Amino acid sequence: MGAVAALLVLLLLALMAMRERKARGRFELLADVAAVSDSGAPLEEAFDAICAILVPRIADFCMIDVLDENRVPRRAAVRVAPGGRPEFEAGLAERMPSTPPRMVADDRSSLESRFYERVGEYDLRGLSHDEDDFEFLQSLGMRSAITVPLRARGEVTGALTLAVAWSGRRYRREDARFVRLLAGQIALALDNAGLFADLERAEHARSRIAETLQRGLLPPPLPHIPGWSVAAMYRPAGAENEVGGDFYDLFRVPGGWMLAVGDVTGRGAHAASITAVARYTVRTAAVLTDDPLEALRTLNRALLARGDSALCSLAAITLSEDPAEPVRLAVAGHPPPLLVDGEEVSEVAAADPVLGAFPDAEWSLSRVEVRAGQQIVVVTDGITEAQGPRGRFGEERLRADLGGAANPALAVQRLEGSLHEFTEGRFDDDVAMLAVARAGDGAAATDVLAARTPATARPEMN
């Protein structure tokens, strides 16, 4: 019996190691695509570079199609792995894309993915344009295929198709889910490539492009999180900038929710591009692992891959659907989250190294029990460093404003009012804040109040 148990343990460890290697490989792939996003390469070079990353690592052949102004698909890039016949690449490059009809509908934001776990003759008939095309598709020997839309700034701009054939691999549903996540990063790469090309061709369009980038990065609406009450504040510095280096994000992860508050270096379009990488990378890593530490490690690798000294401070918080579970926190170079308990305000996590600075940096995970009447508040340093006629806003004033706040909405209202009065409405730096507490009997009223206050206005993502 002991030998059987030992064998089962060994099998379990082997399975865990295999899954870890697979997850690590996917993070590395995302980092490589992010590097293409930040390279500023021309569109055609970006297309080819992305296909080279994906083949043969996760596909035997890959195609990227783009939609022109009339929503007509055009094949922009093809890559075929070793083992395929010489005519495959030319045939795939020349054929008309089999784009899902809804992907090219009049509604420019329409989405439709396509996943074939086991490609059969019926599927090939549906994809082929005529009998000759059907025979060509048959000759490829496809086992599985995935087509996902590429969407940037709320608009479908193209499609990515991956397939496996002669390698003997087969896609599963988890692979299809990962490719959908990957498509977001690829769309960002292609969108950035197009934007940088526009900057080079037309210098006078710089401000318009920067504005477009920034509008797409406005904070998301606050979602309803069962069992929790949340309020947020975001204020950019200056009337000409809608988005700067500060950001917050809330999104679903397995078993709960993740909240992130961050601050990236720089301003304008450069800061917006780093913010986009930070938010999407953290979302992807968190959805795959439900681990704040892995989210920090993945973003650190992505920022280092840029090669332009891009830095980001970040506080990541995971809320469990199980009210008995403590809140998990990981902090990288960010002002430590604060626990507000009546009049008492204390730090609940240490600030570990900033992201994007050190390849061998390590971060720690803190666990905090948030009881009824307590709340966790995370702010960016734009609040404590805010300047007014009386000097610096400071940590002491921040804690005094938060002390005694009964709920997140009240905490945000207090701090925004105090900050506005102290600075006389003039912000030299962006500011962002998230407050979260366990919902009590007054949770519904708190949510209504939060929705009505200027500090927690809920701008739609573009």
From 3.60.40.10, 3.40.50.720, 3.10.580.10, 3.30.70.260, which CATH number describes the 218-456 domain?
3.60.40.10
Whether the pLDDT of residue 202 is over 50: the answer is no
Contact 461, 344 (CB under 8 A): no
User: Residue 108 corresponds to which tokens in the numbers above?
Assistant: 């420019």
How far apart CA 320 and CA 259 sit, in angstroms, is 11
pLDDT at 204 (0 to 100): 41
pLDDT at 105 (0 to 100): 43
**3 state DSSP class of 186:** helix
Each residue's pLDDT tens digit, 414-447: 999 999 899 888 877 888 999 999 986 343 333 3
> Which tokens in the block code for residue 178?
């990962």
Residue burial 211-236, b: 16+ Cβ < 10 Å; e: rest: bbbbbbbbbbebeebeebbbbbbbbb
pLDDT at 276 over 60: yes
The CATH architecture of the domain made up of 22-199 is: 2-Layer Sandwich (3.30)
Query: What digits encode the pLDDT tens for the residues 220-273?
Result: 678 888 889 999 988 877 544 445 578 888 988 988 999 999 998 876 667 777
**What is the predicted pLDDT for the residue at 269?**
65
Q: Taking residues 130-137, what's their average pLDDT? A: 95
Residue with tokens 């240490």: 350
Rounded Cα–Cα distance for residues 195 and 267 (Å):
17
Nearest in space to 296 (alpha carbons), one of 272, 310, 312, 309: 312
Report CA-CA distances (Å) from 348 to 282, 314, 377.
Answer: 22, 15, 10
For Cα atoms 302, 303, 305, give the angle at the middle one, nearest 5 degrees.
Answer: 65
Could you give the CA distance from residue 298 to residue 24 in angstroms, rounded to a whole number? 9
Interatomic CA distance for residues 232 and 432, integer angstroms: 8
Q: What is the pLDDT of residue 7?
A: 65
What CA–CA distance (Å, rounded) separates 435 from 46?
40
SS3 at position 273: helix
Q: Where are the domains of the chain?
A: 22-199, 218-456
The torsion angles phi and psi of 136, rounded to 5 degrees, stand at: -65, -45
Q: What six digits make up the tokens of 280?
A: 């999407």
pLDDT digits (tens, 9 = 90+) for 329-388: 999 999 999 999 999 999 998 889 999 999 999 999 999 999 989 999 999 999 999 999
- Of residues 46 and 338, more confidence is placed in 338
**pLDDT at res. 254:** 87
Q: Which residues lie below 8 Å from residue 196, measured CB to CB, with a gap of 6+?
A: 40
